[in-house]
Structure 1
Amino acid sequence: MSYLEVEMAGPIARIALNRPEIHNAFNEHVITELTKVVADLGSASSLEAIVLTGNGKSFCAGADLEWMGKMVGYSHDENLADARALQTLFETIAQCPKVVIAAVNGAAMGGGAGLVAACDYAIASDKASFAFSEVKLGIIPAVISPFVVEKIGLGAARAYFTTGRRFDAVTALRLGLVQEVVPAEDLAASVNSVLTDACSAGPKAIVASKALLRELARGTADTVEAIAQIRVSPEGQEGIRAFLEKRKPVWKRES
């Protein structure tokens, strides 16, 4: 059984969480499938960007009740394995070689808000809402925390992690969890506008930019070496020459 809808349109892949009857809540099967789909799409040379959204009125409500019921009986080792699988999903999204855009069409709760944070760019409908609601269940947003803190900072994370308070799309924009808020009817057009920019960028430059950010976060980035390498690379040379010659660059993609 597939828990996702995947559509390909030229260089764009659109992944929709497809459990609208339970607000696209995820379980271990959704985690496994989504991890594999993103990893496979990330390695597709013909692809340039990925859009992640939800079918129905919600983006993702976090963990589903049946899966949470199983957790009650898990041993410590089983909980470790379960949490590592979820961590792998978020890392796969965050480290994907393609630009990953979240189209937040509705509520994004708990791990659903974590999915938003793991994406490179997020556009929210003005009807969307968010919460890190784990504390209300007596647990914590541990696995998603590195991705969320990277976006909104420790201060805002403290406020919303400790209260589980729900917040709207405008607040998510102010915090930096999302980059745009648009009327619901304009969500698709706004996503397409970002895709136009993403698809005009050098594919290796995107990969290098995401790697640079990870190194900066670890304090291991050599920014001088990074720019020197990219300037002398075939893609860097083409981009600079195209700019000077006032033409569009021709990016070479691996077959």
Structure 2
Amino acid sequence: MSQAYVTIEVKDQVGYIEFYHPQHNAMPSDVLSQLEQTIINAGNDDSISVLVLKSGGDRTFCAGASFNELISIEDAETGEQFFSGFAKVINAMRKSPKLIIGRVQGKAVGGGVGLAAATDYCFATKFASVKLSELSIGIGPFVIEPAVTRRIGLNAMSQMTLNAETFFTSEWAKTNGLYAEVFEDISALDEAVDTLAKKLAGYNPEALSQMKKVLWEQTENWDVLLKERAKISGTLVLSKFTKDTLQRFK
């Protein structure tokens, strides 16, 4: 399939949210906006007890921001708006009353790492290496940093950020707490995701939503913080360094 999409399928009280983009599941504004709205709607749906976040295809989980869209940004306001897309998705995940299980079948780059970090429990395959490449193109992982640091700690986040051209293995990501478990292949991954999702869906929904609140304590300032971070990235994307670098990637 070559059309971008965001879908949700509900089975046994589990809402499977899937996003897809033909460019390695990169995230342009419209896909981010659809994803945010789908997460919000699912959070308000009483027929859903637990959410699973996954992407289409069997290779890359998410390649992060859409380069084509980054290249086209010409003013700070548009830049802030674009990076706010990731901020809004992370905040929707954080504020959802439903626990979210991540299913990471392949590489995660930039914003893709942010999505994995914003889940409440994340499974991956051994092919799901991670990279924060933002500094190498002249910006930085400002918007997703709070989510990544909260999950793997400042030290590991700094390693990834400063070593911006390196893919860190799925085992490294597991050791540092991004992934709970790493599997040999997608079928083993899916089995584990489904098993945990169904188990959680059978628990007391009130207990689950209270637990979700506890897990995200002290992140109440993220609505403001992530917006401020989007402004930083939105300004940096206009710098000569970034413009020149993005042109090379074109």
Report what 2:149 is aligned to. Answer: 149
With normalisation by structure 2, the TM-score equals 0.81
After superposition, residues 158-237 of structure 1 pair within 5 angstroms as: 158-164=158-164, 165-184=166-185, 185-216=187-218
Please tell me the residue identity of whatever aligns with 1:175: N
Please tell me the residue identity of whatever aligns with 1:177: L
Report what 1:43 is aligned to. Answer: 44
Q: Name the CA distance, whole Å, in 1 between partners of 2:137 and 2:174.
A: 26
1:109 aligns with 2:117: no
Report what 1:61 is aligned to. Answer: 63
Residues 127 and 2 of structure 1: CA distance in aligned 2, closer, same or farther (over 3 Å) = closer
In terms of Rg, which structure is larger?
Answer: 1
Question: Which stretch shows the higher mean deviation, 200-209 or 24-33?
Answer: 200-209
Residues 39 and 192 of structure 1: CA distance in aligned 2, closer, same or farther (over 3 Å) = same
CA deviation vs aligned residue, 1:144-189 (integer Å, no higher than 9, x gap): 0110000000111111111112111111100101111011130110
1:82 aligns with 2:82: yes
Q: Which runs of 5+ in 2 are unaligned?
A: 222-250
| Paired-residue identity, % | 29
Verify the 8 A CA contact 1:17 1:60 in the aligned structure 2. Answer: no
Displacement, 1:65?
Answer: 2.0
Displacement, 1:69?
Answer: 1.2
Q: Which has the higher contact order (CA 8 A, sep 6+)?
A: 2
Displacement, 1:201?
Answer: 2.2
CA deviation vs aligned residue, 1:27-50 (integer Å, no higher than 9, x gap): 100111000001000100110111
Displacement, 1:216?
Answer: 4.7
Please tell me the residue identity of whatever aligns with 2:33: T
Q: Name the CA distance, whole Å, in 2 between partners of 1:61 and 1:77.
A: 23
Q: Name the CA distance, whole Å, in 2 between partners of 1:128 and 1:81.
A: 29
Please tell me the residue identity of whatever aligns with 2:171: V
Displacement, 1:196?
Answer: 2.8
Report what 2:135 is aligned to. Answer: 135
Please tell me the residue identity of whatever aligns with 2:132: F
Report what 1:15 is aligned to. Answer: 17
Residues 2 and 64 of structure 1: CA distance in aligned 2, closer, same or farther (over 3 Å) = closer
Q: Which runs of 5+ in 1 are unaligned?
A: 220-255
Tell me the matched-pair count: 216
Q: Name the CA distance, whole Å, in 1 between partners of 2:7 and 2:202.
A: 26
Displacement, 1:26?
Answer: 0.5
Q: Name the CA distance, whole Å, in 2 between partners of 1:167 and 1:2.
A: 27
Q: Name the CA distance, whole Å, in 2 between partners of 1:2 and 1:135.
A: 27
With normalisation by structure 1, the TM-score equals 0.80
Q: Name the CA distance, whole Å, in 2 between partners of 1:67 and 1:39.
A: 24
